[in-house]
Amino acid sequence: MAPKNAAFVIAVDGPAASGKGTVASRLAKLYGYPMLDTGLLYRAVGMRLLNADGDLDDAIAAEAAARGLELAELEMPEVRTRQAGEAASRVAVHPGVRAALFDLQRDFALREPGSVIDGRDIGTVIAPEAPAKLFVTASPEVRADRRWKQLVGQGEAVTFDEILADIRKRDERDGGRASAPMTQAPDAVLLDTSEMTIEQAFDAARRIVETARARWGNPKG
């Protein structure tokens, strides 16, 4: 019997700089699935507002920016900056922004034969029926070190301590809101990459997805 949902969604959630982006893009390549990095949506909304001299705390303006978002804006290099990450985390607290970005993400999740979606609330809100769910995490120090090296590689002048402070602030903001608490879905598998290389993290992720895929293809097995 074919499963009711014909799309094999791989939901990859977790905090900032946990390694979820790398794991997600490697999985997408392995399975030949399209990938959506939902952090880019929030980053692009934040940059839209900043570029228009808008106020990140203005819920109405932020929602309007989200509704006017065009996918080409996700390609702009500025969405990958530290400033965009901070702005994203601030606009993401507005329920109107999350609602405005819902359909786009949901449509992606319905694509057959499958997709990889990375974010914070994919396994809980966007695709709660996803057959494969990972919650990728790592200690704040390890995440700060990874993000710091990435930003320095992009030419940003930042210190490790500044990035560690950013990470802690973001965890608090991302995890502490009622509209989309960043929590692990009950059926997500936790993957702590603190002590892992990229290769090891990918290998562990692949095994989690293979187990989910076998179960999905054989619901009674």
Return residues touching ligand DC (CB under 6 A): 16, 38-39, 42-43, 85, 88-89, 92, 119-121, 170, 174, 180
Closest to ligand DC by CB, 179 vs 213, is: 179
SS3 content of the chain, % helix, strand, coil (to 5): 55, 10, 35
Q: CB of residue 218 vs ligand DC: minimum separation in angstroms?
A: 30
Closest to ligand DC by CB, 16 vs 130, is: 16
Burial state string for 82-120 with b = 16 or more CB within 10 A and e = fewer than 16: bebbbbbbbbbbbebbbebbeebbeebbeeeebbbbbbb
Q: CB of residue 1 vs ligand DC: minimum separation in angstroms?
A: 32
Q: CB of residue 20 vs ligand DC: minimum separation in angstroms?
A: 7
Query: Contact, 191 vs 134, CB < 8 A?
Result: yes
Closest to ligand DC by CB, 107 vs 210, is: 107
Q: CB of residue 173 vs ligand DC: minimum separation in angstroms?
A: 7
User: Which candidate, 159, 162, 184, 189, places its Cα nearest to that of 174?
Assistant: 184
DSSP bridge pairs for 47: none
Closest to ligand DC by CB, 120 vs 133, is: 120
